[in-house]
C-alpha cells in the first residue's frame, strides 16, 4: 500500500494478502496489526525500507562550512566522514528548517532535509549565500535511500558490502562511500527509528541492484520490508520531529525543545530576533503526551484542553507499538509542560484524558540507537 510525499510514492505498509483492504476513517484500522508486525521485525531483527524523494543538496566551494555555520544556529560538523544535525532559523528567530550535514570523505558536503522541503530549502540557501564562495546542486531526483534498520542491520550490511562495518570502524553518525553489491553508495550511520540503522544512498539507476544485494544478504536473518507507518510509530517513540508537523515557523527552537542545538556564542541568521524572543519568554512548549485511548490516535490540529479552555494544539500522533502507548506531540502553554500534567485532547469530538510523559521531544539528548554509544540527536520514550 502506497502513500505520497511531495509527489513521490512510498510504501505505507506491506499487505499480508493481495486482497487486504482497510476501512477508511479516523480511527485505527485493519492495518494496525500489520504495522505492529513490521515494527516488531525492526525491533528484534532487521527491516528494509525505501525512503525516496529525500531532499539532498550537494554544497561545494571553499566556503561550504563557513556558509553552513552562517545559516545554522548550532555547531556545524567539519570532520570528514562525520554527520551532524542542525537547525536553520528564519529572520524572526523561529525554526525555518532542519538539516542533516554529511561530510563525504574526499568529496563534497551533503545537505539533507525533508522531501517536502525540496524547493523551500534550496531557495533559502541561495538567498543567504551572498558573500560566500559556494555552489549548490540538487541530487534529489537522481538519488534515493534504502534504510536498513534493526539489531541485525550491521550483519546484513557487512554481508552485502565489503569493508569493516563494526561499531569501532563505522560508529554512529559516520558516513562513507561504499559498494552494496555492485551498486555505488553513500552510507550513513543514522536512524529515524531508534534502532541501529543505516541510510544507504544510491543513484536511482542502481536502486534495484542494491535492493537485491540486501535482500539476498538478509535471507538468513529474517529481513522484512517495512513502510512509512512503521517509521511514524517508531519516530514518535524516540522523539524525532517532522518538519512542518512539529518543526514549524510559529515557534523558536527553545519552545520546540531544541535548546542544545543553539549556540549563542556565534553569529547566525535570525540570532538577534531569537534573542529578543528569549527575553520575553516562551509562548508555548512542545511536549510528549500519553493518551488514554485505544481506538484512535490524536490528529494534527486537535485542541489540547484544560477546564474547557484551549491550552495547546497537537502536531503529531500515533500508536507506539514498542511501548504499547498512544502518543502525541503538542505545543502547550509553558506552565502545563511539566511531566505528569493532566489535561485532555479533543479527539473526534470527545475530550480524552492525557498526561505529559516526557520533558518533550528532543529534550534529553539520549539519541543513540539501541546498543550504540551515546551521541547527539533526539530523545523520547524508547
Band of residue 375 on the pLDDT scale cut at 50, 70, 90: very low
The mean of the pLDDT values for the chain is: 93
pLDDT in tens, 73-127: 999 999 999 999 999 999 999 999 999 999 999 989 999 999 999 999 999 999 9
d(CA 87, CA 76): 10
Mean pLDDT is lowest, of 78-92, 247-261, 358-372, for 358-372
d(CA 31, CA 11): 13
**CA–centroid distance for 222 within its chain:** 25
Band of residue 361 on the pLDDT scale cut at 50, 70, 90: confident
pLDDT value of position 358: 74
pLDDT value of position 374: 32
359, pLDDT greater than 90: no
42, pLDDT greater than 90: yes
d(CA 190, CA 147): 9
339, pLDDT greater than 70: yes
Band of residue 199 on the pLDDT scale cut at 50, 70, 90: very high
Mean pLDDT is lowest, of 150-154, 177-181, 339-343, 362-366, for 362-366
Domains defined for the chain, CATH in brackets: 55-138 (3.30.70.1400)
What is the average pLDDT across 263-278?
97
362, pLDDT greater than 80: no
pLDDT value of position 377: 35
d(CA 149, CA 196): 6
Q: What is the pTM of this model?
A: 0.93
pLDDT in tens, 138-179: 999 999 999 999 999 999 999 999 999 999 999 999 999 999
* 3-state SS string for the chain: CEEEECCEEEECCCCCCCCCCCCCCCCCCCCHHHHHHHHHHHHHCCEEEECCCCEEEEEECCCHHHHHHHHECCCCCCCCCEEEEEEEECCCCCEEEEEEEEECCCCCEEEEECHHHHHHHHHHHHHCCCCCCCEEEECCCCEEEEEEECCCHHHHHHHHCCCCCCCCCCCCCEEEEEEECCEEEEEECCCCCCCCEEEEEEEHHHHHHHHHHHHHHHHHHCCEECCHHHHHHHHHHHCCCCECCCECCCCCCCCCCCHHHCCCCCCCCCHHHHHHHHHHCCCCEEEEEEECCCCCCCCCCCEEEECCEEEEEEEEEEEECCCCEEEEEEEECHHHCCCCCEEEEEECCEEEEEEEEECCCCCCCCCCCCCCCCCCCCCCCC
Band of residue 225 on the pLDDT scale cut at 50, 70, 90: very high
pLDDT in tens, 47-67: 999 999 999 999 999 999 999
Amino acid at each position: 500500500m502506497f502513500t505520497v510525499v511531495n509527489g513521490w510514492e512510498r510504501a505505507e505498509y506491506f499487505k499480508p494478502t493481495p486482497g487486504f483492504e482497510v476501512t477508511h476513517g479516523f480511527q485505527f484500522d485493519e492495518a494496525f496489526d500489520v504495522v505492529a508486525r513490521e515494527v516488531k521485525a525492526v525491533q528484534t531483527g532487521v527491516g528494509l525500507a525505501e525512503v525516496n524523494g529525500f531532499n539532498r543538496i550537494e554544497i561545494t566551494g571553499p566556503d561550504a562550512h563557513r556558509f553552513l555555520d552562517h545559516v545554522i544556529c548550532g555547531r556545524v560538523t567539519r570532520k570528514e566522514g562525520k554527520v551532524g544535525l542542525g537547525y536553520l532559523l528564519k529572520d524572526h528567530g523561529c525554526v525555518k528548517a532542519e538539516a542533516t550535514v554529511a561530510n563525504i570523505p574526499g568529496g563534497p558536503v551533503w545537505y539533507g532535509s525533508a522531501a517536502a522541503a525540496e524547493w523551500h530549502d534550496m531557495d533559502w540557501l541561495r538567498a543567504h549565500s551572498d558573500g560566500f564562495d559556494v555552489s549548490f546542486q540538487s541530487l534529489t531526483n537522481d538519488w534515493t535511500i534504502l534504510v536498513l534498520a534493526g539489531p541485525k542491520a550491521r550483519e546484513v550490511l557487512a554481508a552485502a558490502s565489503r569493508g569493516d562495518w563494526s561499531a569501532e570502524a563505522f560508529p554512529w553518525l559516520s558516513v562513507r562511500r561504499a559498494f552494496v553489491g555492485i551498486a555505488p553508495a553513500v552510507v550513513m550511520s543514522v536512524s529515524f527509528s531508534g534502532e541501529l540503522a543505516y541510510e544507504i544512498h544510491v543513484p536511482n539507476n542502481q536502486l534495484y541492484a542494491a535492493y537485491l544485494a540486501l535482500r539476498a544478504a538478509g535471507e538468513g536473518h529474517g529481513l522484512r520490508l517495512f513502510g512509512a507507518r512503521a517509521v511514524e510509530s517508531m519516530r514518535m517513540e524516540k522523539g524525532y520531529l517532522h518538519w512542518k508537523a512539529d518543526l514549524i515557523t510559529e515557534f523558536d527552537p527553545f519552545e520546540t525543545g531544541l535548546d542544545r542545538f543553539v549556540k549563542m556564542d556565534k553569529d547566525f541568521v535570525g540570532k538577534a530576533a531569537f534573542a529578543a524572543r528569549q527575553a520575553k519568554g516562551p509562548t508555548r512548549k512542545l511536549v510528549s503526551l500519553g493518551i488514554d485511548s485505544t481506538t484512535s490516535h490524536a490528529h494534527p490540529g486537535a485542541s489540547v484542553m484544560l477546564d474547557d479552555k484551549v491550552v495547546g494544539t497537537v502536531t503529531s500522533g500515533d500508536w507506539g507499538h514498542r511501548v504499547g502507548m498512544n502518543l502525541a506531540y503538542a505545543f502547550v502553554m509553558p506552565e502545563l509542560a511539566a511531566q505528569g500534567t493532566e489535561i485532555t485532547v479533543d479527539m473526534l469530538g470527545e475530550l480524552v484524558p492525557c498526561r505529559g510523559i516526557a520533558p518533550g521531544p528532543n529534550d534529553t539528548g539520549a539519541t543513540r540507537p539501541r546498543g550504540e554509544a551515546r551521541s547527539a540527536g533526539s530523545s523520547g520514550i524508547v
